[in-house]
Structure formats: structure tokens, C-alpha cells
Structure 1
Amino acid sequence: MGGEDWQEWIDTLINADAIAPNARSIAFSYIGPESTHAIYHQGTLGRAKVDLHQASHAVNLKLAPFGGSAYAAVCKALVTKASVFIPTFALM
């Protein structure tokens, strides 16, 4: 998900009068192992991550009138059984 999707989601909630006072919105991202950087950093997904982080400021401004805020959090990636579905990433 890039930042545009996040902004549209927040716009939909605002237009539906469904934002609670002091609402917080957090978009989670991650930094994976170096072996996936070609896909997840230099590729299309990497561009979506950049867009997501840039959008956090716009979403934050949209939530401010409600006393809310928005954050893009970067978390550690974990290798799990589901990792086999990541292109070019084999379980160790």
C-alpha cells in the first residue's frame, strides 16, 4: 500500500463522519534483509514505501482538526514460514 491508499482511506472515514476524537492512524513498514533490497527498496514496492512515508505528513494534517495524528512506523522484519512467498527469498 502506498500513501495514496492511506490518504483515500482517511478521506473516506472523514467524509463518513467516522473519525473519533484524538484518532491515531499508523502505517507499518519494514526493512527486510539485504537479499530482498532489489525488490523491496529499489523496485516498485520500494517506491510505495517512500510514498507511504511522504503521505504520513498529509494524513497527519487531515487528522489534526480532530486532535488526531498519523505515523509511518518502520519495524524489524521477521523471517517466518510465510517468507517462502517472497520472491527470491528462501528460508534458511
Structure 2
Amino acid sequence: MASTRRERFVFGHVAWTLATIVALSLLGSLTLELVFVVSLIGFLVLVELTAPVAVRPAWRRRLKWVIGLGLIVFAYLVVKRILAILPPGVL
């Protein structure tokens, strides 16, 4: 049975995330924040690499919500990291 494009997309993202977890654990840098950021980057790359030319299926239209949520969480992580770096009297 041939896999659909949606299944290949999901398998690709799962493979990227597992490779990220393995690589970060081998480097000794396994944190939830890094796994999320690298997985988000992989997700965005995968979305662009698998974008259809002519027709846009409904499941791909719904990806914009996942991307938006991912970018909001990414912005939160960046702000949290910046606030941790700044000295206490700056803000």
C-alpha cells in the first residue's frame, strides 16, 4: 500500500525529531527548549520542501495554525531567554 503525502510528511517530521533528540543527547545538550526549536526549524523546512505546486490540500492549509502556534511558543522562549540574560535592574 502506497503512503499518502500526508503520511510521508508526518513520517519525515517524526524522523527529523528523533534524529534531533539523538543528536542533542549525543552532544550532551538535550533540553526541551532545544528539541522544540530544532524540531520547529525542521518542520518549517519540511513544509517548504514538500509544498505542492498546483493544488493545496485542506490538510496543508491547516498547517498555518500549527506554524503560528510554534512561532508564538518560539517567541516566548526567546523572551524568556533574553530576560534571563539581562541584569536585574534593566527592566
State TM-score, norm by structure 2: 0.34
Higher strand proportion, which one?
A: 1
Relative to the length of structure 1, the TM-score reads 0.33
| Structure label with greater radius of gyration | 2
Q: Which has the higher contact order (CA 8 A, sep 6+)?
A: 1
